[in-house]
Amino acid sequence: EPLFHSRDRSDLEPSPLRRAQPIADLLAAQRFLSKYGWADAPPGPGSRPPGPAAPRARPPAAALAEAVRRFQKVNALPASGRLDAATLAAMNRPRCGVPDTRPPVSPPPRARPKR
Amino acid sequence: FARWPPPPWGPRPGDAAPRGDARAFAKRTLTWRLLGDEGASSQLSADEQRHILRLAFRMWSEVTPLNFREDVAAPGAAVDIQLGLGRGRHLGCPRVFDGSGQEFAHAWHLGDIHFDDDEHFTPPTSDAGISLLKVAVHEIGHVLGLPHTYRPGSVMQPNYIPREPVLELDWADRKAIQKLYGSCKGSFDTVFDWIRKERNQYGAVTMRFSTYFFRNGWYWLYENRNNRTRYGDPLQIARGWHGIPAQNVDAFVHLWTWRREERYFFKGNQYWRYDSEKDQAYTEDEHGRSYPRRISEGFPGIPSPLDTAFYDRRKQLIYFFKESLVFAFDVNRNQVLDSYPMKITDAFPAIEPQNHPLRNIDSAYYSYAHNSVFLLKGSAYWKVASDKDRQQHSWLPSSGLFPKQSISEKWFDICDVHTSTLNM
């Protein structure tokens, strides 16, 4: 039984084992921004650099700063483009998992009901 | 989400509006189900969860022509919206929850809703934790097709905002969802303003009024100053009004002169008098004569059943409508005026040719908010030219009817809900 002492279980503490990893560094922030539609996905390990024919993409730092700036603006934070403490705090707030800048999309194939 | 492959089977029947609007369900009654076992929460009882979800669906139903019905019997694939709670990897979902904090739920457009059971979901009555009701209302908005917005006050803000004063769908949220599903339309049995005498802080008697819309066995209080129905309406007539018929009321008349103040409900060939102070229908008058009474007895010369009626305070006449005729009843002489009955088209002539309800009016309603009489029929109304109108445009015929307008564009969001949620 999860531990609680008050009748309505309002003092129920989620087990420390299952806490969301705080967003505290650049990579976690990048992942947050791409997950919620503010930036493209960060290059994964082993991905190949774009070929000479690919259009010149903005340097990743500039693109990231722009994404951070847009995120800061909608969250009424100073749009500095820098990952300051207030921006990280905003990223750590409880939120819905649907992306912010795109309408929700169609459902994945449903799981088969267990027999 | 953006990376999901499109569903291999294509939209399910009812997934998208056949009118080509793929962003909205085409059906107007949608089914939902809370997944049991793995999908149930470890923090709230299943009944509590289902009650909260039922309320969340009802809140969307109160502002759209959509109805939501819990379906615990049909095969899973036939249920429009499945909801479940889970931890980490859950319900066969390709998206893994992150534990307590940050992501507390997600949803798919025209699809399912998942809640992260590592979050501390609480009932609406609790100030602690994350309100399951608030999150459910938000995620249902996604399922119906609404994206996130950062507009303050919207239920579609991506972040959870604890301790908001009230969880209701505001004007902009309503307009957003109605862009996808349209607004609520429909006819009414009767519409009337109910006057309340109150004493203000100086002890002086003041008059306030609320507007009521009756349809079948339900009613809505319309808050004119907020341009919407009362939060939580419709209610059942029998719950709010005592001793009158529980449904299909034909007319309401508030007879109000210097010496008299009487309120009557009409249905079939009978009428009831209502006691505003005791909030119930009289069972008998001061002479011991019982109510309800036959209309022909209390209003000689008036046929029944009626279509509708309204009271003109200035002329001290009650206009009774039946089929294509209107009867003007003099309340002081207790008889129909000699020049009546008249055809409605003669008594209330059309200002624009061919633009007239003609017969079988649903409701004739004098609005204190608009100082005008309206004739309602189906989903349209015709406004009767008031004295003020005629002072500005002297060519207007007396009691002329302006061209028809849509009821739902003057009185907003008077929506049905599914009968299973009526008593919430």
pLDDT confidence band for B15 (50 / 70 / 90)? very low
Answer whether residue B11 shows pLDDT above 50: no
Answer whether residue A60 shows pLDDT above 90: no
Determine the Cα–Cα distance for residues B380 and B127; give it in Å rounded to an integer: 44
Distance of CA A114 to the CA centre of its chain: 31
**Given this model, what pLDDT does residue B18 score?**
44
Answer whether residue B129 shows pLDDT above 80: yes
How many angstroms separate the CA of residue A61 from the nearest CA in chain B? 23
Give B384's DSSP letter.
Answer: B
Confirm or reject contact between A7 and chain B (CB < 8 A): no
Query: Could you tell me which chain A residue has the CA closest to the CA of B162?
Result: A94
User: For B107, which of A2, A74, A104 is closest by C-beta distance?
Assistant: A104
User: For B92, which of A2, A22, A111 is closest by C-beta distance?
Assistant: A111
Q: Two tokens at B303?
A: 């046929």
Which chain A residues are closer than 8 Å to B138 by Cβ?
96
How many angstroms separate the CA of residue B408 from the nearest CA in chain A? 28
Q: Two tokens at B255?
A: 């007879």
Residue B193, SS3?
A: strand
Specify the long-range contacts of residues B219-223, CB closer than 8 Å, at least 24 apart.
Answer: B220/B414, B222/B411, B222/B414
Beta carbons of A96 and B107 less than 8 Å apart = yes
pLDDT confidence band for B287 (50 / 70 / 90)? very high
Answer whether residue B7 shows pLDDT above 50: no
User: What average pLDDT does range B148-162 have in this prediction?
Assistant: 94
Beta carbons of B142 and A9 less than 8 Å apart = no
* Segment 36-75 of chain A within 8 Å of chain B by CB: 36-37, 74-75
Identify whether the C-beta of residue B333 lies closer than 8 Å to the C-beta of residue B345. Answer: no
Q: What is the ipTM of this complex?
A: 0.78
**Given this model, what pLDDT does residue B38 score?**
56
Answer whether residue A2 shows pLDDT above 50: no
Instruction: Choose the most confident range, by mean pLDDT, from A33-37, A57-61, B204-208, B263-267.
Output: B263-267
The 10s digit of each residue's pLDDT in B87-105 is 888 888 888 999 888 999 9
**Given this model, what pLDDT does residue A42 score?**
60
Beta carbons of A107 and B145 less than 8 Å apart = no
Which chain B residues are closer than 8 Å to A101 by Cβ?
148
How many angstroms separate the CA of residue A63 from the nearest CA in chain B? 20
Query: Could you tell me which chain A residue has the CA closest to the CA of B125?
Result: A8
The 10s digit of each residue's pLDDT in B359-414 is 999 999 999 999 999 999 999 999 999 999 999 999 999 999 999 999 999 999 99
| Residue from B110, B150, B159 whose CB has the most chain A CBs within 10 Å, to mutate | B159
Which chain A residues are closer than 8 Å to B38 by Cβ?
114
Confirm or reject contact between A29 and chain B (CB < 8 A): no
Query: Could you tell me which chain B residue has the CA closest to the CA of A90?
Result: B159
Which chain B residues are closer than 8 Å to A108 by Cβ?
4, 7, 93-94, 108
Query: Could you tell me which chain B residue has the CA closest to the CA of A105?
Result: B109
Query: Could you tell me which chain B residue has the CA closest to the CA of A37?
Result: B2
**Given this model, what pLDDT does residue A102 score?**
63
Query: Could you tell me which chain B residue has the CA closest to the CA of A71?
Result: B150
Segment among A99-108, B170-179, B258-267, B268-277 with least mean pLDDT: A99-108
The 10s digit of each residue's pLDDT in B342-363 is 999 999 999 999 999 999 999 9
Give the residue numbers of B annotated as catalytic, written as ranges: 139
pLDDT confidence band for B4 (50 / 70 / 90)? very low
How many angstroms separate the CA of residue A37 from the nearest CA in chain B? 9
Beta carbons of B148 and A94 less than 8 Å apart = no
Question: Which residues make beta-bridge pairs with B34?
Answer: B83
Instruction: Choose the most confident range, by mean pLDDT, from B68-77, B191-200, B246-255.
Output: B246-255
Question: According to DSSP H, which parts of A15-108 are helical?
Answer: 26-35, 60-74, 85-91
Which chain B residues are closer than 8 Å to A111 by Cβ?
91-93
Segment among B21-25, B110-114, B338-342 with least mean pLDDT: B21-25
**Given this model, what pLDDT does residue B19 score?**
46
Answer whether residue B71 shows pLDDT above 50: yes
Which chain B residues are closer than 8 Å to A100 by Cβ?
147-148, 150, 158
Beta carbons of A93 and B91 less than 8 Å apart = no
How many angstroms separate the CA of residue A11 from the nearest CA in chain B? 8
Which chain B residues are closer than 8 Å to A37 by Cβ?
2
Beta carbons of A97 and B103 less than 8 Å apart = yes
**Given this model, what pLDDT does residue B109 score?**
84
Which chain A residues are closer than 8 Å to B88 by Cβ?
18
User: What average pLDDT does range B130-143 have in this prediction?
Assistant: 96
Q: What's B234-273 look like in SS3?
A: CEEHHHHCCCCCCCCCCEEEEEECCCCEEEEEEECCEEEE
pLDDT confidence band for A45 (50 / 70 / 90)? low
Between the alpha carbon of residue B279 and those of residues B127, B194, B222, B287, B390, the distances in Å are 35, 12, 19, 20, 38
Determine the Cα–Cα distance for residues A21 and A4; give it in Å rounded to an integer: 24
Which run of H or E residues covers position B373?
A: strand B372-377
Query: Could you tell me which chain B residue has the CA closest to the CA of A72?
Result: B150
More confident of the two residues A50 and B333: B333
Beta carbons of A108 and B94 less than 8 Å apart = yes
pLDDT confidence band for B5 (50 / 70 / 90)? very low
Residue at token pair 């399922």: B143
Identify whether the C-beta of residue B297 lies closer than 8 Å to the C-beta of residue B270. Answer: no
**Given this model, what pLDDT does residue B22 score?**
74
Distance of CA A66 to the CA centre of its chain: 16
pLDDT confidence band for B148 (50 / 70 / 90)? very high
**Given this model, what pLDDT does residue B94 score?**
87
Beta carbons of A18 and B87 less than 8 Å apart = yes
Closest among B313, B300, B319 to B364, alpha carbons compared: B319
Inter-chain contacts counted by CB atoms under 8 A, chains A and B: 147
| Residue from A18, A21, A91 whose CB has the most chain B CBs within 10 Å, to mutate | A18
